[in-house]
Amino acid sequence: MPNIIKAQNEEQFNDIGAGIIASLLQSNPKALLGLATGSSPVGVYGRLVELYKEGSVSFAEAQSYNLDEYVGLPADHPESYRRFMDEKLFNLVDINPENTHVPMGSSPDPEQAAAEYTQLLQQAGRLDLQILGVGLNGHIGFNEPGDELHGFTHVVTLDESTRQANARFFSSIDEVPTQAITMGIASILHAKQILLLVRGAEKAEVIARALKGPVTTHCPASLLQTHPNVIVLVDQEAGRLL
């Protein structure tokens, strides 16, 4: 069973999340980090930036691989995940920009970009820590629920519910991309350790289903039950049913 940690408040959530990443970097400065976007990791990245400024953590030798990216948004689009990572973390710490990897959603050939990302991950080897969030429909990365899941990085058509959930970040639903590139389930589960970050009352039901319900492709986050080293960090609201 995953190790479930319920944070008392936002500050503790961010401290614990950032602490796990910082301890990894302290013991292994060359760590391979799998990173995620979304609202749940934002405060954790903010706390990591503080730890960097205090001199307690360095990313100088680390490598990062992001989970996913929208197809069709230029890298500098305000809602692209590349821009999110640059603004929330990469530009604020000492990571070498060349060591930060995000799928190339702006590529004219997204299928090719996905295949190249699979190769890149294979060359990198096992990620030391994969950060994850969970979608309201149980997706991890952008691996949407369905009859089958893909192992490696691939182009996915986003569920209408996912587009609706993410529409708040765009000026209208029509602006939300219809496709994304995402790491697949095999790549995610290949990480040595997984840290799933979940915040907010609206996630209580899905996280309970993912951790206590059946392991099924219809709830991709339930596959985390098959991984031997998962930490689930929830706030009080998201952890209500755990």
Ligand X SMILES: N[C@@H]1[C@@H](O)[C@H](O)[C@@H](COP(=O)(O)O)O[C@@H]1O
Residue positions annotated with a catalytic role: 68, 137, 139, 144
- Taking CA atoms, 165 is separated from 17, 38, 160, in Å, by 24, 11, 9
Q: Which residue has the tokens 């209408």?
A: 160
DSSP designation for 79: T
Number of chain residues interacting with ligand X (CB under 6 A) = 13
Round to whole Å and give the CA distance between 50 and 220: 33
Q: Which stretch binds ligand X (CB under 6 A): 11-19, 35-43, 92-100, 104-112?
A: 35-43
By CB under 6 A, tell whether 38 contacts ligand X.
yes
Q: Which are the contacts of 16, defined by CB distance < 8 A and separation ≥ 6? A: 5, 7, 233
Report which of 37, 91, 83 is spatially closest to residue 59, judged by C-alpha positions.
Answer: 91
For ligand X, the binding residue among 7, 33, 62, 67 (CB under 6 A) is 67
Residues in contact with ligand X, shown as a per-residue x/- string from 156 to 175 under the rule CB under 6 A: ------x-------------
Amino acid at 58: S
Least Å distance, CB 27 to ligand X, is 26
Q: Which stretch binds ligand X (CB under 6 A): 31-39, 84-92, 97-105, 227-235?
A: 31-39
For ligand X, the binding residue among 7, 18, 34, 40 (CB under 6 A) is 40
Give me the sign of the Cα torsion angle 74, 36, 68, 171. negative
Amino acid at 192: K
- Taking CA atoms, 105 is separated from 24, 69, 161, 227, in Å, by 29, 6, 20, 28
Q: Which CB atom, from 39 or from 56, has the smaller least distance to ligand X? A: 39
202 burial (CB, 10 Å; 0-12 / 13-18 / 19+) is exposed
The residues in 97-156 that bind ligand X, with binding defined as CB under 6 A, are: 133-135, 141-142
For ligand X, the binding residue among 16, 18, 36, 156 (CB under 6 A) is 36
For ligand X, the binding residue among 14, 37, 143, 153 (CB under 6 A) is 37
Q: Which CB atom, from 29 or from 200, has the smaller least distance to ligand X? A: 200
Write out the residues near ligand X by the rule CB under 6 A.
36-40, 67-68, 133-135, 141-142, 162
